Amino acid sequence: MTSRKEQLDKVLQLSLSETVAHISLEKFAQCFPNFKKGKVIAGIHAQLTNFFRSACSKEYAKLIEERDLYRKLDLLDECIAKAKARQSSGAVPINVSQKNPEDILLAHFYNYKQLFLQKLEAHLAEVDAEIAQLEQDLAKEKNGTNETIELLQAQLDKLEASITGIRNTPAYEKVGPTIDHVFQQLEKEHTE
């Protein structure tokens, strides 16, 4: 017995083949009367049908993945197998009306809970990725800030060396006290 996944794949391929079969070369050639029938129109027809097949196959695969159909079909096969095994073993059928309402609700909400957990895990992965990106950005900013501080410190060291060099010149003795006074006034205004 083939699994439901295999049956689904066969049905999809059969429906695709039948759909493509309806796009016959003759009908296709009628849509383009300006082209002569021959290799050119046959080549275009082949390209179109190949593209249609591949696009539909991709779309089928996307739908199967989005809806998690293979897992659900496996679960259905498993449930049917368990039910048949239970029936063949002579076990008493489960009477849902005899079950506790809480058990029925829990069984009903199990799939929703699983889906919710998957969404939470996906969201957690997104948040973790954002945090990692922010940490990288912060490290880059910190490195950039450290480089700026080092650059400013180097400029400040050059400035101090220049000032020391100027103070050691004979000309500074004449204008130095005036310059020092101006700098002191500027520093005083800046700190107030």
Give the mean pLDDT per block of 10 residues along the chain (192 residues): 82 92 87 79 90 93 91 88 86 77 79 88 94 92 89 88 79 73 77 69
Q: Which residues have a Cβ under 8 Å from the Cβ of 161 and sit 6 or more positions away?
A: none
Q: What is the pLDDT of residue 1?
A: 54
- Long-range CB contacts (within 8 A, 24+) of 72-76: 73/3, 73/4, 73/5, 73/8, 74/3, 74/4, 74/5, 76/4
Q: What is the pLDDT of residue 192?
A: 67
Q: What is the pLDDT of residue 2?
A: 67
The burial of 29, by beta-carbon neighbours within 10 Å (0-12 exposed, 13-18 middle, 19 or more buried), is given as middle
41 vs 100: CA distance, rounded Å: 68
**Whole-structure pTM value:** 0.43
Q: At 164, which amino acid appears?
A: T
